[in-house]
Amino acid sequence: MRKKRRSAGPIYVFAGVWLLSQIASSGTGLGSLLISAGISLLAAVGVGYLFDKKRKKQDEKEAAAAAAEEERRAAEKAKEESSPYSPEVQAIISEGRVALKEMGRLYSSITDPNIRSKINELMSVSDKIVRDAIDDPSDVPQIRKFLDYYLPTTIKLLNAYDRMSSQEISGSNITGSMQRIEDMLDTAIDAYKRQLDALFANQAADIQMDIEVMNGMLAREGLGGKSYLDINEFMKKYEQQQKYAQENDIQKGSTSNG
């Protein structure tokens, strides 16, 4: 808890007013001295009241800000606790949100349009990577590595670029470092895209397995003939079979009635 500071202003004001009253006073007796002291005391009390009022306003403002921050943190904690996702997935979402917010700040701070374009692309791919944790929680270990190293390192380098670009001077160290960071961003974009593609490796394998199983079933039913699943051809043959079966039922019904 912050300790309240007592202002020294009233003391200095009291001393200053008292001295001025002594100088301005034409009398030298005890009565003049008491009057001067009274005037100084009243002035000091008035100024002290103003200082205290200002300090109380500042204390109230700081207390309100602290309460608002505490309320915000409590709301975030309650939201995380009530999240439908697992703690691991929720951690990915929370950390990803913080990282994307920082990248958004850097996008606004850096004025170079080429760098801003690259940051925007990095943010887009990063958001897709983070969201994949929701769609496929089994990818969390891969995404965790991305959040623990690749994304923070990229943000660290972008912060360095932002600081150097704000110097508004040219020099071999600043210019060379900024150029290397710019080149690194192209590499990072390619790496981020490969990371996103790698997250779909398991799904691609599952899809391929489902297609192979479906093709096997179609072949056993006499509906195959190709090495891949042609859904249009499958539906066409299915509809023909259904139509043929209905026609047979109608013919059987008319024969039995005759």
Average pLDDT value over all residues in the chain: 77
Query: Tens digits of per-residue pLDDT, 135-162?
Result: 888 889 889 989 999 999 999 999 999 9
Per-residue model confidence as pLDDT tens digits over 11-47? 555 555 555 555 555 555 556 656 666 666 666 667 6
Cβ pair 143, 199 in contact under 8 A: yes
Which secondary structure element, helix H or strand E, spans residue 72, and what is its range? helix 30-81
Lowest mean pLDDT segment, chosen from 37-46, 49-58, 133-142, 223-232: 223-232
Q: Please say if the pLDDT value at position 130 is more than 60.
A: yes
* Comparison of pLDDT for 55 and 152, the residue scoring more: 152
- Exposure b/e, 206-225, CB count within 10 A at least 16 = b: eeeeeeeebbeebeeeebbe
Could you read off the pLDDT of 166-182 as tens digits, one per residue?
Answer: 887 778 888 899 999 99
Whole-number pLDDT of residue 1: 46
Q: What is the mean pLDDT of residues 116-132?
A: 94
Between the alpha carbon of residue 63 and those of residues 56, 60, 71, 159, the distances in Å are 10, 5, 12, 32
User: What type of residue sits at position 93?
Assistant: I
The H-or-E segment that residue 162 falls in is: helix 151-165
Mean of pLDDT values over 245-253? 61
Q: What is the mean pLDDT of residues 233-251?
A: 67
**pLDDT tens by residue, 70-103:** 777 766 665 555 567 788 899 999 999 999 999 9
Local structure of 171: helix, strand or coil? coil
pLDDT of residue 230: 57
What is the band of 231 on the pLDDT scale with cuts at 50, 70, 90?
low
Range 218-234 average pLDDT: 62
Stronger pLDDT, 162 or 251, i.e. the higher one: 162
Two tokens, residue 143: 């995404």
Calculate ∠ Cα 137-103-144, nearest 5°.
25
- Of 115-119, 143-147, 213-217, where does mean pLDDT reach its minimum? 213-217
Burial class (CB in 10 A: 0-12, 13-18, 19+), 99: buried
| Alpha carbons 161 and 164: distance in angstroms, whole number | 5
Nearest to 43 by CA among 63, 73, 16, 8: 16
Using alpha carbons, select from 239, 220, 219, 238 the residue that is nearest to residue 228: 219
